[in-house]
Amino acid sequence: MSTQIAAITNVKTGAISEAVYEHPFIVRLCHWVNAVALLILVFSGLQIFRAFPSFGAKIPQKDLLHWPKAYALGGWLGGGLQWHLTFMWIYIGTGLLYLTYEIFSRNYKQVLFMPRDIRGVWPMVHHYFFFGPKPYIREAYNPLQKLAYTSAILLGILSVLTGLAIWKPVQFSWLAWLMGGFHWARLWHFAMMWAILAFLFGHLVMVVLHGWNNFVSMLTGWKKDPEYL
Amino acid sequence: MNFRTDSRQFKRINRRELLKLSPVLALGAFAIPKLQKPLLKTGLAFSDWASARLFRSGHLAPTFDDSELTPFARFPINDYDVDDPGVDLNNWTLTVSGAVRKPGDYTLAQIQTLPKFSQNTRHVCIEGWDVIGRFGGARLADFLNMIGADPAARFITVQCADDYYESLDMATARHPQSLLCYEMYDQPLTREHGAPLRLNIPTKIGYKQAKYLTDLKMSHVLEKAGYWEDQGYSEFYGL
């Protein structure tokens, strides 16, 4: 798939600018539906966690953290589960649609972190965190971005697998076994949530830093004046 | 692929692409109070449908060594009402009704004539904790044969001495690990754990494994799914 590039003539000034079609419709659709599903799963998941906020024994019970009820969705355990068991299908559905689309459209080349991207990671880290020079950008996503997005996709897959292991520890007993048993699978599921939230935090910081045109590209697909053209 | 356009036309292209995302707004239906309840109910029902499809009659729940058992004193006692509903153990019977050839009152001694099975299985609570316990009793499948259950019946509903009530689908009821349990840790059930008879269903979540059973009914339609199901929990909740 070749990327679409538009040369835009300003009707008032006659100046010419460029724009790139970075995000195909399916990607944008999955991004936003999945984002809503993710937030609902986080806050309903925390409601479920509140029913037993521990990863130890029931007797004696030592709570790990008290998550306030005001920041949990569903009102009570049963309500939280209803939200969770509803939106997990939307989360899985958009995830599968996205992965299928990426593979068959070959759009995955834009986002998949490959071995050749490894050497480009440090210069980006150096630039972002240690005020190093800005590396020359040649693609829509720089190597650090690819690493972040590929990791996020993997975390998403792992969040589903750990979730399946605690929802169905008997039917998917092999999955629970892989994770060290039901008990550990529950801890992994919780850990995946925090890992995804850590990604989300970094993602949002970057969205703010990279400005309006970058944000709009996930809504319309088109990025105006991309730095790599 | 390159093309030329002008800023006015490009705006139109952008607007069209943005509008294509409008289906995302359909998720807003979940924020409308009137629609929220039925939508979540549908989601839960879909999960239950998928759960029933995922259930495999021949697939056994993992079993554990004696060394992995949670000590009996640390096996939680959970109930929705009272720990001990005061069952008269001497005159207790299980009243069987519905789609069966031999309805009536069954004594514990009658149930104990069926082959006894013991198993170390995981008990998972919907709250999130889990313990490994030792359970002994008669296979529910054997008891269904004893009472002459109608093979076409689709549900079992049980009543309990504490007014709790529960239900089971037939595939789960006939699973080899589904027990009419009268022993825990090789001792007769204590009152808090449901004496004299409870369900032990390792393929189900904890709240489906009712204690202090008094009545068992076979039916073709599900009249009452269960106490917690009526509060909003899943009807099937298979593990």
Reported ipTM: the value is 0.93
pTM, 2 dp: 0.93
* Reported confidence tier of residue A210, pLDDT bands at 50, 70, 90: confident
At B38 the three-state DSSP class reads: helix
* Residue of A33, A82, A220 with shortest CB distance to B24: A33
Among B92, B91, B146, smallest CA distance to B115 is for B146
Task: Enter the tokens of residue B184.
Answer: 């825990």
Q: Is the Cα torsion angle A152, A156, A159, A162 positive or negative in sign?
A: negative
Reply yes or no on whether the pLDDT at A227 is more than 90: no
DSSP track, A29-51: HHHHHHHHHHHHHHHHHHHHHHT
Taking only the tens place, the pLDDT of each residue in B124-142 is: 999 999 999 999 999 999 9
| pLDDT recorded at residue A69 | 92
Rounded distance, CA B69 to CA B75, Å?
10
Single-letter code of the amino acid located at B162: D
Q: Kindly report the number of other CB atoms within 10 A of residue A188's CB atom.
A: 20
Which residues of chain A from 121 to 150 reach within 8 Å of chain B, CB to CB?
A: none
The CATH architecture that domain B59-231 belongs to is Alpha-Beta Complex (3.90)
Question: Is the pLDDT assigned to residue A97 strictly greater than 90?
Answer: yes
For an interface test with B, the pick among A21, A22, A92, A220 (most B C-beta atoms closer than 10 Å) comes out as A220
- Give residues 187 to 226 of A whose Cβ lies within 8 Å of B: 216, 219-222
At B198 the pLDDT is 96
Residue A170, pLDDT > 80, answer yes
Q: How confident is the model at residue A161 (pLDDT cuts 50, 70, 90)?
A: very high
**Model pLDDT, residue A29:** 96
Give residue A77's pLDDT. 96
A28 in contact with B at a CB cutoff of 8 Å?
yes
- Which residue type does A206 have? M
Q: Does B24 contact A32 at a Cβ distance shorter than 8 Å?
A: yes
| C-alpha radius of gyration, chain B, whole number | 24
Confidence of residue A2 (pLDDT cuts 50, 70, 90): low
Report all structural domains of chain A as residue ranges with CATH numbers, in order of start.
24-212 (1.20.950.20)
Of chain B residues 41-100, which have a CB less than 8 A from chain A? 41-44, 46-47, 51, 54-56, 59, 61-62, 70, 73-76
Q: B5 vs chain A: nearest CA distance in angstroms?
A: 5
What's the CA gap between B89 and B85, in Å, rounded? 11
Locate the chain A residue with the closest alpha carbon to B16.
A220
Q: Is A100 on the interface with B (CB under 8 A)?
A: no
What are A30-55's pLDDT values in tens digits?
Answer: 999 999 999 999 999 999 999 999 99
Domain ranges of chain B: 59-231
On whether the CB atoms of residues B140 and B174 are closer than 8 A, the answer is yes
| CA pair distance B237, B216, nearest whole angstrom | 20
Q: Which two tokens stand for residue B120?
A: 């170390």
- The residue-averaged pLDDT of A120-139 equals 86
Do B126 and A169 make contact, defined as CB atoms within 8 angstroms?
no
pLDDT < 50: residue spans in chain B: none
* Cα–Cα distance list, B213 to A212, B27, B85, B95, B228 (Å): 64, 43, 11, 9, 16
- Under 8 Å between Cβ of B156 and B174: no
A119 against A227, higher pLDDT: A119
CA distances from B24 to A29, A32, A95, A103, B135 (A): 7, 7, 15, 23, 49
Is residue A228's pLDDT more than 80? no
